[in-house]
Structure 1
Amino acid sequence: MRVQLQIDGAPQRAAEHARELAGIGADGVFSFEGPHDVFQPLVIAAGVAELGLMTNVAIAGPRSPLHLAHAAYDLQVYSGGRFRLGLGSQIRVHIEKRYGAQWSKPAERMAETVGAIKAIFDCWEGKAPLNFRGRYFTHTLMPPNFVPGPNPYGPPAVLMGALGPIMTRTAAEVADGLLVMPFHSARHFAERTMAAVDEGLRRSGRTPADLQIIGQAMVAVGRTDADLRAAIDGVATLIAFYGSTPAYRPVLDTEGWAELQPVLNAMSKTGDYAGMRALISDDMVRTIGIVGTPQECAAEIGRRFGAHAGEVCCYFPGYRPSAGDIADLVAALHRTP
């Protein structure tokens, strides 16, 4: 199984961190759109290490498909064909209040964004004139002096992050790959995610070979009781944050914890993050996250995704595992079918 690790998004640290992750055996790095830009750390990493590069995810709603296409196309050229464009929709409150953008029908809008980007790529590749006309975007003008020409490495893959059945189904219909939301359980992935994938492929007339599935996991890795305690606490804090979001309730519902979601949501509005964390049991961490030694974590990731995904993005939220533990986890995952 191939392994992607998150790169430090701070521009002054991205180069050193990319070299470190390459040194411990990672196959690639992904950037997160949080406190820093999602593209810049990958530009930096592209120049210092031979790693795969992926946005995970670039928020599509506030951006024009043309902006996304340019950034992706140029990164694909600069990296020598190592870039993939991962897109996500975010939730309404962030789109409207953090990005200052408009919110509407996220799955429909995401599908149109992917279609528009691919139409722009086709134009630049000389396959077809630009004539994309959708509900949200219209792209019909591309004079020759604005065309970068065919990409020597081919257009980058366009992936979609998804959790709910509609967005997951949409990803299976239109995208080159699905980034499985890290907030999930083995049961949710097997019963709900894969059912939506199958439906999307059926609707679009595509086959499983047309869609790459990339698993994602919140990993609490450690060898000592103290290290595992710190790791579990870090993952639990992120689970509490994700669990407060109404759109993520189906995961809790699958495991019989649906009543917890409105409680977490109410506490998040008062800023009681410590109280939210206290509601997340170790059993919840082991169900939604991945917990154990490097070898145990690799085995659990293989059991959860192995039949459907040959690649995983590992997160280590809220704590810092040792470089040795990460290296051993990567090595164990490389041995996982």
Structure 2
Amino acid sequence: MNVKPTVPVDPPLRPDVPLLMAGVNPRMIQAAGRVSDGLVGHPLFTASYIKSVVRPALAQGAARAGRSAPPLVGYLTCCVDDDGDVARQQAAAVIAFNSTVKTYQGIHEHHGFLGEVTAIRDAWKHGDFPGMIAAVSREMIDTIALAGTPDDVRDRYEERAAVYDDVLLWPPAFVGQDGIRRVIDTLGAAQLPTGSM
């Protein structure tokens, strides 16, 4: 039986919607390289982890399928405040929360952050949220996030964004509309990388 619509149906706005996969560790990234239209990176991704682990795994997966590596789209934790220490504390809270997940340990191992992660997880077990944030080192913040004053963030944006084909700026939800607006105002004029998404 063939059913005909009684009202005209518009064609889809975009018939070729790309399907992206998320992945953190090499096997999942390889799977994304084999079958997806792109990899969505985790907010804990760093430039070094992308260069040493992510891009090679993405290429390996793609090579197994006889195709080019798909693009990498990355979440970049971004916190902006006129007081740079406030912005770094916001970033530390997100980093601490994400660091409680054992699946992401490979990123921390890559950077030698296991001491900080052990302290974060110990504080987590005891419900000590300030202790979790305090255990995040300045090196972790600077390596993982883009956080500081508007000038700090603008100065480091291109260096951090350059490792991705497309960037998804990620101000944490708890900063509220004002915090999100600070990120937009700070980087609104930035030239975002243009990928294939």
Give the TM-score category using the shorter length: 0.7 to 0.9
**Alignment pair present for 1:204 and 2:59:** no
Q: Which amino acid aligns with 1:161?
A: A
Cα deviation for residue 262 of structure 1 reads 3.4
* 1:143-172 deviation line (CA, Å, top 9, x unaligned): 977xx9974520421111211111111111
Distance 2:93 2:14 in 1: 41
Instruction: Please name the residue that 2:140 is paired with.
Output: 284
Distance 1:335 1:170 in 2: 24
Answer whether contact 1:180 1:215 (CA < 8 A) is retained: yes
Distance 2:55 2:193 in 1: 24
Instruction: Please name the residue that 2:17 is paired with.
Output: 156
Using the size of structure 1 for normalisation, the TM-score is 0.49
Higher relative contact order (CA 8 A, sep 6+): 2
Cα deviation for residue 332 of structure 1 reads 1.7
Describe how 1:1-337 pairs up with structure 2 within 5 A. Answer: 151=12, 153-208=14-69, 211-222=70-81, 224=82, 226=83, 228-294=84-150, 296-306=152-162, 308-309=164-165, 311-317=166-172, 318-319=174-175, 320-321=178-179, 323=181, 325-334=183-192
Using the size of structure 2 for normalisation, the TM-score is 0.81
Answer whether contact 1:244 1:263 (CA < 8 A) is retained: no
Provide the alpha-carbon RMSD of the alignment: 2.8
Distance 1:170 1:299, change over 3 A: farther
Aligned residue for 2:15, secondary structure, equals coil
Answer whether contact 1:170 1:200 (CA < 8 A) is retained: yes
Q: Sequence identity, in percent? A: 25
Aligned residue for 1:154, secondary structure, equals coil
Answer whether contact 1:250 1:258 (CA < 8 A) is retained: no
Distance 2:194 2:185 in 1: 14
Gaps of 5+ in 1: 1-142
Cα deviation for residue 175 of structure 1 reads 0.8
Cα deviation for residue 323 of structure 1 reads 2.8
Gaps of 5+ in 2: 4-8
Distance 1:200 1:150, change over 3 A: farther
Distance 1:297 1:157 in 2: 30
